[in-house]
Each structure stands twice: as C-alpha cells, then as structure tokens.
A and B are shown apart, each in its own frame.
Chain A
Amino acid sequence: MFRMLQVTILLLLTGVAVAQNVSRDEIRGLDEQIQDVKKDVIDLTATLAQLEEKLLFPSNSQVAFFVSIADGQPFELESVELRLNGEIVAHHLYTYREIQSLQKGGVQKIYTGNVQTGVHPLQVRFIGKTPSGRAYQADATYQVDKAVGPKFVEISILGTESEIHFKDW
C-alpha cells in the first residue's frame, strides 16, 4: 500500500512545539524580563502623564468633558461635536470598538483644555443610529461654571430619546 500522508489534527488543537534551539528556560527568562519592563514603562508613563497634565492643564484652569451613553435602548453613536465659547474644541467620529466600549459602560474623555474661572457656554451635538438603522441627532447647550479647581463635566447621551444630559463631577 502506498503510505505517505497523515492528517495533522494536533496542529489544529495544540501549540506548535517550541523550536529545539529555543529552550523553555530561555523563554521563561525572557518573558519575565518583558513583564518587568512592561511594569516599569507603565509606572513611568503614569508619572509622565501626571507631569503632562500639570504642565499643560493646571488645575486652576483645567476643564475636561467626558462622553457616556445612557443605559437603555441599544444605540450606535457616530459622531459628537463640542463647541466651547462658540469654538469647536472637539469633533469625534466613533469606531466600532469605541461604540462597543461606550455601550459596555465606558466613559470617553473627549476633551481636556484650559479656561478662566467664570461661565462658559458649551454646545454639544451628536449623530447616531439604532442597530435597525434609524438615525437620531440632537443639540444641547450647557453653562460650564468654572471655579478655582478643575472642572469635569459628563455628557450623557440618550440616543433614542434625542436627548443630552449634563452632570458636573
């Protein structure tokens, strides 16, 4: 009988064996070093991010806006536009993964900037649709009352109700 071939089920189900010239100990050692450097870079990045915030957005003038999607009807946000003091400060088009993340309860920090203490008009506009394809959009205005400390405002979008709610944090 002409014997020649085999079906490679193991390749389907198991990890390919590690190359003979790469030992398990070497892999483990390298992996641990990679984990260490990841931890170090994470810590360093946190320090750098704090330095950046202190330099670029000092607390006495910092204002930040966050976008969230309210629970309820499934809604796919397509874009959000923010005008602060009449000027466009943010215009974001959402990717599929960002939409998914918002739907799971994530909150997007859409804009960080600097303003003086006092009242600043904020205009928000969103466009989106339901999974069935029905389009929704809405505009809303809010007075941002900036005091001495940093100002954080959550922009909560109720897509299928064509509404926008604001919350000071």
Chain B
Amino acid sequence: MRISLLSVLPGPARATLRVLTVSLCTLPIFSAVAGAEEHEALRDLFFGAAMFHANQENYFDAIVALDTELAQFHRLDEPELDPFSAHLGQAEFSVGDLELSYRMHRQAGRAIEAVLKGNVSRSVRNEAAYRLARIHYHKQQPVNALHALEWIEGRVPERVRAQEQFLRARVFMQLGRFDEAVELLKDLKGEKSLAGFIEFNLGIAQLKSGEEARGILELTDLGKKRSSELAEQALYDKTNLLLGAYLMEAGELQQARPYFDRVNLEGPFSNRALLGAGWAEAHAGRYERALVPWKMLQNRKGTNESVQEAMLAVPYAFGKLDVHSTAAIHYGRALDSFGSEIDTLTASIHSIREGKFLQALRRKEATQVQHWVVALRNLPNAPETHYLLDLMASNDYQAFLHNYRDLNDLYERNEAWLKSLSAYEDIIRHRRAYYDPLLPKLDEQFRKLDARIKLRLEQRDTFAGRIEQMLVSRRPEYLATADEQAVRLAMRELRRQLAQNPQGFTEVTRSRVARLQGVLDLRLSTEYDQRLTQAYKHLQELNGEIEQLQGVYQSYVRSRQAATHSYTGYNQQITRLRAQIRNYQQRLEMLMARQGSMLEALAIEELERRRTQLESYQIKARFALADSYDRANALQEQREDQRKIEQYREAQPESLPDDNPPELEAGEGGDT
C-alpha cells in the first residue's frame, strides 16, 4: 500500500494511520529491555559461561549450554545443593528468551507454559505470563497475548514491570482499544528504559483515539529531541516523517513542512523527508522552494526510490515555472539514469535466478560488517542489494533471512561434527592400539600387587585385633620379639619333654628351665606397657603406609578404568550420532532450499516491482520530455514572433491614424 500525497483526502489519512498503528506497535524494544536485566552475583560458573554466549547474541551456543545445565540439574538427587539452583529461575526464563530471540516461538511458549502450570510462586507465574504474552505478541496474536496478560494476578516482578505495562499498552493498540492504551502509556511516561518508545506509541494512540491535537503535540515534542545515538535519532526522524506525512494527508501543507525539515539530513529517513518537503511546497504552488530539497535529493544514491522520484519531480517543477528547456535537460538525465538502473535490475534478477543471491547470503565475510546487506553487493556476481534494502528491513523478510542463515549455520556446524566424529574414531583407534597390548601385562602385575596388598591388610587387621584385645586383657606374649618368641617355643618344647620324661632330666636342668622361663616372663611383664605403646605406634605407622598403598591401588584402578573408557563403548554411539546428523543434514538442505526459494521469490518480486516502476517513470519522462520540447519550442516561437512584431513596429516611419477621415464620418451618418 502507498500513500498519495497529491490527493488530499481525509479517508486515506485515516487508513494510513490505521496501518501505521499496527506497524508502530511492533517497534522493537529489545534494546530497551536488554539493559534492564539486573547484574546478579554469580553462583554457578557454567551459568556465567552460558551468559557469555547469550550476551554476544550467540543464541545457539547459549541455548545448548543452558539446556545442558538444566538437564544435569534436574537429574540430581539433591538439586537444591547444587549452586546452579541459585540461578534456576533466571536460567529457565533465559532459555525462553533465548529461544524467542532464536526464532523458536513454539519451544519458548511450551517452556513458559510449563512454568505456568508448575508449582511456582505467584511472582514467577506472573513473570511467565508476561513472557508468554510477549511471545504471542511477536507472533502477531494480540488476543492470545491479552489472555496471557489476564493470568497475571497482582504485580509482576519490578525488573519487568515497565515492560509488562508497555506490552499491555501495545496489545490494546493492536486490538483497537486506544483509550486504555493511552492511560497505560501516560502512567509509563518517564520510564528511562523505554524513553522515546512510550511517547511514540502514546502519540499514535492519542491520534487513533480521537485526541488528535494531543497526539500531534506528543509526537511533536518527541520529534524535537536530538540524540548522538543513531537508533534514538532514527526514532525521532521517523516521528517527524510520520507527522509530516500525516499533516500533508490532512491538507495541512503549511504545518507539514517544518516536520520534514527536522529530519536529520544524514539519517536513514532523510531521502523521504526531502521528497516530502518538496511536495509540501509544490502542493502550495511554491515550485521554486520545492526545487531546493528536490535538487539536493536528486544528487543522492540513484537506486533509492525517493531519489528516482525526485529525478522526475525536479523537471516537473521547472515545467511549472515555465523553464521548459531546463526541464527537458533534467528529463533527459532522468531517462539516462532510469535506463541504466533498469539494466542493473534486469541483471540482478538474472543473478538471483542463478542462485548468486543465496550464495552471497551464505558467505561469512559479508556479515562481519555493520551494513552487511549492502556489503553483499560487493561480493562477486551478487545482485544490486540497494534495491532490496526496504524489503530486507521488513520484519517478515528479516525473519526469512535470519532463518536461512540459521539453517546454513546449523548445516555447517553439523558438517564440522561429522569431521569431528571421524577424528574421534581415529583417536579411539590409536588408544585401542596403544592400550590393548599394554593392559594385560599391567593387569598381571596388578593382580600380584593386589594379592600382596590383601595379605598385608589381613596382617594389619590381625595386629589391630590383638592390640584391641590387649587393651581389655593383658597378653604379654603377644608383644614378645621374634627372638623371645623363638625362646618361648624352645622353652615350651623343653617343658613338654620334661613332662613326658621327668626321670630323663636332672634337677639342675629343671631349675635352669624354670629360671629361664621366669626371666622371660619377668621381661615380658615388666616391659609390657612400654611394648604395648610401641606396638600401637607401629600400628599407626602401618596404617599410614597402608593408606598410601591403597591410594596407589585406587589410582591404578581409576587409571585402568579411564584407559578402558577412553576407547571402549563409543562405536555404537558414534555410528548412531553420525546417522542422526546425516538425517538432519537432509532436513536442513530441504528447508534451506524452501526458505531460499522464498527469499529469492520475494527479492525478484521486489526487483520486478522496482523495474516496472522505473519503466513507467521512463514512459512518463519520455512524454514529459516531448511535452517540454514542444512547450520550449512554442515559447521560443512565441518569443520569435514577438521579436519580429517589435522589429516591424520599429521599422515603420510613422504611425497609422487612429480615427476615420471626416468624409467617411459624414457618409456614415446617412440622410435624415
């Protein structure tokens, strides 16, 4: 749809405003919202790592990271002990936000609906309802958005309160409930995070609700602001352009001109503003003044629609000023320019049909610069993207473009994974080749070590048991040294022999045996406490050594397990994952082809529209050129005739008499 500025009708003005309202309601607020997030203390490192991706708008990596963390968290036996629990709510909502940014509305909606149905606090439920409403709003479903907003009971959390109210106002505007929107937006005025957007929407809502004067005043105040920030200045320029067009539609030509003049001459809306300013003067019949902005516009980038229109507007104004020869020269220039642009457009259409446009979109280097869409045309054989700027700036086309690039990105990631899987198989093969011959020998050594360790452990347990026993009842014999043990055994043997054959031994021998036994018992008895202490110390030392031994043992077990796990049990998983990736690659190729053909169709349609427009301009310019020549010739002839008459008059010696001679006068009276 286009707005005629030549026909001053109240109807079109209303229609324009109706469409504008819808479009302005969808002004992006992410920039405003982005800064509103509070910087909370980090409790979980991996949540911070996910946010590192999210803050850079690497949505895919951020979603993968957060999904992984959330899945791990929900698998824990006692999740409340995990530090990630401190960020759980934030993480759940962040995933929804990221999915929304990554154009996964359905997934985001499902996640948030799950939060709504879950056992959560009212504050969390309210925030979830707000976020669900936002999803519906972005999907252009204002009725559903309003239903979601109606689930909010009480107040939403402070950090999203302003955004929630702003969203509610825009939903009301989409539903045509402008009075309610006005009230909400008035309350919001002064909210810094939404500065500019509130005033803009408030002005539109007031215009639509019948408060025309207030609306114009609101938008005028906004349009008078200035900012060094490009985005803010663009909003002010857009406001001025909108008001200028609106007033022209309403026939207020005198009032419209200042609004066009306020638009920044270097900004993205300057071309339309210059064109509008010219038409405001032309409609008022001030063609000399109309020429000032138009001539400025005429020298700008020749692919711009406003510039092309100005190429015809300038000679039109000269024609109105009866300077037909100058008009003819400008029409001639316009014709040359249109002809060359039509050729460019035709070449661009061919280039798109040959797939060059999609090739250019897939190339990474173009996206490294800020105005990557314009940079596309610098790539080899890429189409003339200056003609596609307006199309590419539209919401639908932006979504298509991003989706196409997302699909391409996913495809390339999967290709990289396929290469990685091959590399992993190589690693596994090398590990198997290294460990397989090594492990049996190690296992054999380990078994020997294991047997020794077990023996020592049993001995230690025996000693420990005896010491425990000795703490309860004295057992001096347990603490005899090896020599003493040998003596004890020898004495026991001697006593046995003495008992079996008492006559075989002398009294001296028997008394010596008894004395030796006494000496041994006395030593063991008197040194018992000291020996028990020593034994206990030795047991502690033994425990320390055994602990070290067990550490080595555990370390070996772990290393042995790690070695085994480093190359066994992967093959099936890798095969399955590879098949899955290939399956997804086929899907991605099919979807890329469909999305790509949609992009191409829209681009070609836009280029053909522009070409048709230029062809019609060409026809008009040709007729106007011929007409200008005719008028210029006629004027020249008229001047030539005038000059000849003057020359003839100058050549006459005397002037002719003005009155009749008397005889003729008398004759005319007749007889009476």
With A and B bound together, what is the CA distance between A35 and B99 in angstroms? 9
The interface stretch among A39-47, A83-91, A127-135 is A39-47
Which of B56, B102, B598 is close to A27, meaning CB atoms less than 8 Å apart? Answer: B598
Is A121 among interface residues, defined by CB-CB distance under 8 A? no
Q: Which residues of A contact B313 (CB under 8 A)?
A: 5
Q: Is A37 an interface residue (CB 8 A)?
A: yes
| A138 part of interface (Cβ distance < 8 Å) | no
Contact bitstring A1-33, B, C-beta under 8 A = 1, else 0: 111111111111111111111100011001111
Chain A CB count within 10 A is highest, among B55, B245, B313, for B55
- Interchain CB contact under 8 A, B577 and A48: yes
Contact partners of A42 in chain B: CB under 8 A: 60, 63-64, 67
Our pick among A7, A20, A60, A68 for the contact of B5 (Cβ within 8 Å) is A7
Which listed residue, A7, A8, A61, touches B279 by the CB 8 Å rule?
A7
Residues of chain B within 8 A of A26, CB atoms compared: 598
Asked if B309 is at the interface (CB within 8 A of a chain A CB), the reply is yes
The distance in angstroms between the C-alpha atoms of A69 and B420, with both chains bound, is: 32
In the complex, whether B601 has a CB less than 8 A from a CB of chain A is yes
Question: Given A47-B577, A58-B562, A71-B39, are A66 and B48 also a contact pair (CB < 8 Å)?
Answer: yes
Q: Is the CB of B242 within 8 A of A9?
A: yes
Known A11-B390, A16-B396, A38-B410: A101·B52 in contact at CB below 8 Å: yes
At the interface, yes or no: B407 with Cβ under 8 Å from chain A? Answer: yes
Number of A interface residues in the complex (CB < 8 A): 71
- What's the dominant secondary structure at chain B's contact region? helix
Q: Hey, what's the 0/1 contact readout for B547-562 against A, CB within 8 Å counting as 1?
A: 0000000010011001
Q: Which residues of B contact A101 (CB under 8 A)?
A: 51-53, 55-56
How many angstroms from the CA of A52 to the CA of B220 in the assembled complex?
59
Asked if B68 and A49 make an inter-chain contact with CB atoms under 8 angstroms apart, the answer reads yes
Interface string of A121-164 (1 = CB under 8 A from B): 00000000000000000000000000010001010000000000
**Interface membership of A92, Cβ < 8 A:** no
Contact B51 A106 (CB under 8 A): yes
Contact A52 B420 (CB under 8 A): yes
Chain A residues with Cβ below 8 Å from B359 are none
In the assembled complex, how far is the CB of residue B205 from the closest CB belonging to chain A, in whole angstroms? 15
For residue A10, give the distance in angstroms from its CB to the closest CB of chain B.
Answer: 5
Is A93 an interface residue, CB under 8 A from the partner?
no
A10–B2 CB distance below 8 A? yes
Q: Are A4 and B55 in contact (CB under 8 A)?
A: no
Q: How many contacting A-B pairs (Cβ < 8 A)?
A: 236
Q: A26 CA to B428 CA in the complex, in Å?
A: 46
> Which residues in window 99-149 of B have CB below 8 A to A?
102-107
Per-residue interface assignment for chain B, residues 39 to 59, with 1 indicating a CB less than 8 Å from any chain A CB and 0 otherwise: 110100100110111111100
CA distance A104 to B62 in the complex (A): 15
**Which of A38, A49, A98, A152 meets B406, CB within 8 Å?**
A38
Once the chains are docked, how many angstroms separate the CA of A16 from the CA of B394?
6
User: How far does the Cβ of B592 sit from chain A's closest Cβ, in whole Å?
Assistant: 9
Measured between alpha carbons, how far is A1 from B279 in the docked complex, in Å? 13
Bound-state Cα–Cα, A3 to B623, Å: 13
Task: Pick from A55, A68, A106: contact of B54, CB below 8 A.
Answer: A106
Contact B49 A19 (CB under 8 A): no
Task: Decide: A6 and B2 in contact? CB cutoff 8 A.
Answer: yes
- A60 CB contact (under 8 Å) in B20, B558, B624: B558
What A residues does B390 contact at CB under 8 A? Answer: 8, 11-12, 16
Q: Is the CB of B52 within 8 A of A55?
A: no
Residue total for B at the interface (Cβ-Cβ under 8 A): 99
**CB within 8 Å for A104 and B55 given contacts A12-B269, A18-B396, A46-B68:** yes
Given A2-B316, A9-B16, the answer on whether A16 and B23 have CB atoms closer than 8 Å is: no
Residues of chain B contacted by A154 (CB below 8 angstroms): 45
A115 within 8 A of B: no
B51 touches A4 (CB 8 A): no
Instruction: Indicate if B457 sits at the interface (CB-CB under 8 A).
Output: no
Chain B 332-381 interface residues, beta-carbon cutoff 8 Å to A: none
Known: A14-B23, A42-B64, A107-B52. Is A37-B410 also a contact (CB below 8 A)?
yes
Find chain B residues with CB under 8 A from A32 CB: 106
Question: Nearest B residue to A52 by beta-carbon distance?
Answer: B420
Q: Which of B52, B55, B577, B595 has the most CB of A within 10 A?
A: B52
Q: How far does the alpha carbon of A161 sit from the alpha carbon of B68 in the complex, in Å?
A: 36
* Interface stretch (choices B565-573, B636-644, B646-654): B565-573
Kindly list chain A residues whose C-beta atoms are within 8 Å of the C-beta of B591: 30, 33-34, 37
Does B413 touch A at the CB level, under 8 Å? yes
Binds A, one of B153-161, B468-476, B579-587: B579-587
State how many angstroms separate the Cβ of A101 from the closest Cβ of chain B. Answer: 4
Residue pair A35, B68 in contact (C-beta under 8 Å): no
- Beyond A38-B102, A44-B581, whether A68 also contacts B312 by CB under 8 A is no
Is A105 interfacial (CB-CB < 8 Å)? yes
Q: A123 to chain B: closest CB distance in Å?
A: 21
Inter-chain CA distance A54–B55, complex, in Å, is 27
Task: Output the least CB separation between A161 and chain B (Å).
Answer: 19
A66 touching B580, Cβ below 8 Å: no
Decide if B306 touches A7 in the complex (CB within 8 Å): yes
A9 to B13, CA, bound (A): 12
Binary contact track B400-427/A, C-beta < 8 Å → 1, others 0: 0001001100100110010010001001
Closest Cβ neighbor of B317 among chain A residues: A2
Closest to A47 in B: B577
CB of B534 within 8 Å of the partner chain = no
A102 interfacial contact with B, CB 8 Å: yes
Contact (A38, B397) CB under 8 Å given A8-B2, A16-B606, A58-B562: no
| Residue A165 at the chain B interface, CB threshold 8 Å | no
Among B49, B71, B427, B601, the one with the most A-chain Cβ atoms within 10 Å of its Cβ is: B49
Chain A contacts for B104, CB-based, 8 A: 35, 38-39
A73 within 8 A of B: no
Query: Could you tell me if B407 and A13 are in contact, using CB atoms closer than 8 angstroms?
Result: no
CA A105 to CA B328, docked complex, whole Å: 64
Which of B6, B54, B394, B584 meets A44, CB within 8 Å? B584
27 A-B pairs, CB-CB below 8 angstroms?
Answer: A2-B319, A5-B313, A6-B3, A7-B5, A7-B276, A9-B3, A9-B241, A12-B269, A15-B394, A31-B103, A35-B107, A37-B587, A37-B591, A38-B410, A41-B410, A41-B584, A45-B413, A47-B577, A49-B68, A51-B574, A60-B559, A61-B562, A97-B55, A106-B52, A107-B49, A109-B49, A117-B555
- Having A20-B605, A51-B573, A68-B42, one finds 9 other A-B pairs with CB under 8 Å, namely A2-B320, A13-B23, A13-B238, A38-B410, A51-B424, A68-B48, A106-B51, A106-B56, A107-B49
The 7 closest A-B pairs by CB, nearest first: A107-B48, A106-B52, A101-B55, A15-B394, A14-B23, A16-B394, A13-B23
